[in-house]
Amino acid sequence: FPKEKTIGQVIVDLKIYNKENAVMIGDTIYDIKGAQQHNMPSIGVLYGFGKNQDIKDARPTFIAENVDELRNLLF
């Protein structure tokens, strides 16, 4: 997946040792699958670039249909 390498580099650069304390927020299947490749939680947002069903099929840890839902998941 195209994002796997980028996410891995961010994990190293930001010294994220405990991936359970981080989350990948994405609007495409590549964001979600990239997070999964690194055993990292993910939030699929249904108001971005990707198709809603594709995001759901990628099985993110959580799904946010709008910004308010995303905010509630994060805080």
Residue 60 to residues 13, 48, 55: CA-CA distances in angstroms?
24, 15, 7
Token digits of residue 38: 């690194």
Q: pTM of the predicted model, to two decimals?
A: 0.91
Residue 53 has pLDDT above 70, yes or no: yes
pLDDT in tens, 18-50: 999 999 999 999 999 999 999 999 999 999 899
Residue 6 has pLDDT above 70, yes or no: yes
Contacts of 12 by beta carbon, 8 Å cutoff, 6+ apart: none
CATH T-level topology, domain 2-74: Rossmann fold (3.40.50)
Average pLDDT for residues 42-69, to the nearest whole number?
96
Distance, in Å, from the CA atom of 30 to the CA atom of 68, rounded to the nearest integer, reads: 23
